[in-house]
Amino acid sequence: MNAAVLGLIGIIAFLLAYRLYAKYIAEKVFKLSEIEELTPAHTQRDGIDYIPTGKNILVGHHFSSIAGAAPIVGPAVAAIWGWLPALLWIIFGVIFMGACHDFGALFISMKHKGNSIAFVAEKLLGKRVQTLFLIIIFFLVWMVIAVFALVIANLFIQFPAAVIPVNFEIFIALAMGYFINKKGGSLTLPSILAQATLLIMIVLGTKYPISLAGFFGEHELMAWIVFLLIYSFIASILPVWALLQPRDYINSHQLTVGLTLMILGLFITRPEVVAPMTNFSAEGAPDWFPYLFITIACGAISGFHGLVSSGTTSKQVATWKDAKPIGYGSMLGEGLLALLATLAVTAGFSSTAQWHSHYANWNAANGLSAKISAFVLGAGKFVAGLGIPEDVSQTVIAVLIISFAATSLDTACRIQRYIIAEFGAALKVKTLENRYVGSSIAVGSAFLLMLTNKGGKGGLYLWPLFGATNQMLAGLTLILITVYMLRNKMNHIPFMVPAAFVILITSLGLSMNIKLYVSAQNWFLTTIGVILFISQIWVIAEAIIGVRNAKKIA
């Protein structure tokens, strides 16, 4: 099978979905054009978190925040089961589940003054459910901060050519944020200059790679981790217009350029897929059902996206009609990234034998380094097909991955600050609502987790639970949206059906994981897994009661 044909099928499917299904959800289900009230960005405006933002900037901010390394890592692992299951789940999962989830989370958060999903849970299902949501969300974001900081630090070491361009982005973003928000400047010229400068920095970084090994020796990894956490703390307390928005806006253009180069390279080189169509008997791999749907999370549907939609984005949407391209459209963009990631790791190898060597068994495919390197090498070959030197091509892809992992990292810190503030409000501890205190706890708790394993790798202890926890939150968020729709006599089917499917695969996956942890006598992961499973069942029970009550009201 030719990879270009598969890519074209996916692109056409996403375009049709935005033209037809997104329009149906926006106009017939949410009826955005009929809403006359102002958005929370106007009614709650504070200049720090709540600020009306232009659609183009916010699409870039939201897209960059959700499109971290996960839509690359997930498909790179799931490719061990073959290319067909991965592509089908990405395409259908994004269109009918992931994009609806993100759009719905954004909508109901905006209907609740831009507050988080946990706040919405309290309003719809009660205080107990809010507490359970806060616990699940804190645990999930805790893992994201700890692991993404580690992943980015490792990538800086693996691809030192990316150090200059990625870090120079910070200074470009700060200047751009000041110019636009304080001077009232136009977006056009700064955007062009930002991209041109980054391209120069990519070439410069390729020529002059930077390593901290000469300064920190064997502690290089920890040095990068500390730097990244300090950056994340600062980014999470600054007004969103100062760093997060412009950086994410720049990253969205960077991703557009990167995706365009990959797509053009794919259609020019037209490589054959060397991976098998299905490979369900891969050595050491768990059953494809339900693990495929947990492994490819952010590339199809992700609970973390609901946190971004209700945590940061809902506080910035200027008009109700903007929710469609931001909520639904951005997820299609992430689906495209996941699609290209799948093709890169199934058609980017020189031969079938080379692919089988890389994916010889589950442990080989499941390593973080193996996942990232497979994508960088495969996608780099696509870009090199345009005549760009292969070392520069690989730097382009490495910068792409690191930049988007960094946006997920700083957004996660900001979301964790909001969650800690909600804990403070629930417990009546005013200090926790302070943004400096909240950000300190968010960063500090992640750092303590990282220190539980040599070299800052403590987050990897919990990472096996990430996929199931992430999908659990997505399923519970879809249930909340369903309850809201029922109570307001709106069409709930587009959310209830995905909710049932996601809850099913999450329950199966989590229960199977717990069984494995018990067999391995890993009591730490067993305990955490049981707590999460009980929390999920509890929320589902509360939601069933809520749905029944909602039906009575309807």
pLDDT, tens digit, 9 for 90 and up, residues 391-445: 888 888 888 888 878 888 888 999 899 899 988 988 889 999 999 999 999 999 9
**Which one has a higher pLDDT value, 418 or 550?**
418
What is the average per-residue pLDDT within 182-192? Answer: 69
Residue 50 has φ and ψ, to the nearest 5°, of -95, 115
Whether pLDDT at 51 is above 60:
yes
Confidence of residue 504 (pLDDT cuts 50, 70, 90): very high
The reported pLDDT for the residue numbered 365 is 61
Q: Where are the chain's structural domains?
A: 3-553
* Segment 282-299 mean pLDDT: 90
Residue 211 has pLDDT above 70, yes or no: yes
pLDDT value of position 550: 59
What local confidence, expressed as pLDDT, does residue 395 receive?
85
Tokens, residue 449: 């987790």
Specify the pLDDT at position 208: 92
Map 80-139 to HEC letters.
HHCHHHHHHHHHHHHHHHHHHHHHHHHHHHHCCCCCCHHHHHHHHHCHHHHHHHHHHHHH
Confidence class of residue 370 from pLDDT cuts 50, 70 and 90? low
Which residues have CB under 8 Å from 244's CB, separation 6+? 61, 235, 238, 312, 407, 410, 411, 414
Helix (H, G, I), strand (E, B) or coil at 242: coil
CATH of the domain spanning 3-553, picked from 1.20.1740.10, 1.10.110.30, 1.20.1560.10, 1.10.3720.10:
1.20.1740.10
- How high is the pLDDT of residue 120? 93
Residue 378's contacts (CB-CB under 8 Å, 6 or more residues apart) are 343, 344, 345, 347, 348, 349
DSSP 314-345: GGTB-SGGGHIIIIIIHHHHHHHHHHHHHHHH
DSSP for 160-200, written as a single string: GGGHHHHHHHHHHHHHHHHHHHHH---SHHHHHHHHHHHHH
pLDDT at 336 over 90: yes
Lowest model confidence (mean pLDDT) among 250-264, 306-320, 440-454: 250-264
Whether 467 shows a pLDDT value over 70: the answer reads yes
According to the model, what pLDDT value does residue 438 have?
95
Average pLDDT over residues 217-225: 91
Q: If you average pLDDT over residues 66-72, what whole number do you get?
A: 80
Alpha-carbon distance of 237 to 70, in angstroms, equals: 25
Helix 493-519 to helix 99-110 angle, to the nearest 10 degrees? 110
Global confidence as pTM: 0.88
Band (185; pLDDT cuts 50, 70, 90) = low
The CA-based diameter of the chain, rounded to the nearest angstrom, is 68
- What pLDDT score does 392 carry? 86
pLDDT-derived band at 45, boundaries 50, 70, 90: very high
Name the residue type at position 47: G
Q: Report residue 184's pLDDT band, with 50, 70 and 90 as the boundaries.
A: low
What is the average pLDDT value for the chain, to the nearest integer? 89
Residue 330 has a CB neighbour count (10 Å cut-off) of: 29
Give the closest residue to 33 by CA, choosing from 440, 321, 412.
321
Helices 244-269 and 3-16: angle between axes, nearest 10 degrees: 130
Strand, helix or coil for residue 272: strand
Query: For residue 554, is pLDDT > 60?
Result: no
Q: Which of 334, 442, 257 is nearest to 68 (CA)?
A: 334
To the nearest whole percent, how much of the chain has pLDDT over 70? Answer: 96
> How many other CB atoms are found less than 10 A from the CB of residue 521?
7
Residue 545's DSSP bridge partners are: none
> Taking 80 as the threshold, does the pLDDT of residue 206 lie above it?
yes
Question: Does residue 188 register a pLDDT over 80?
Answer: no
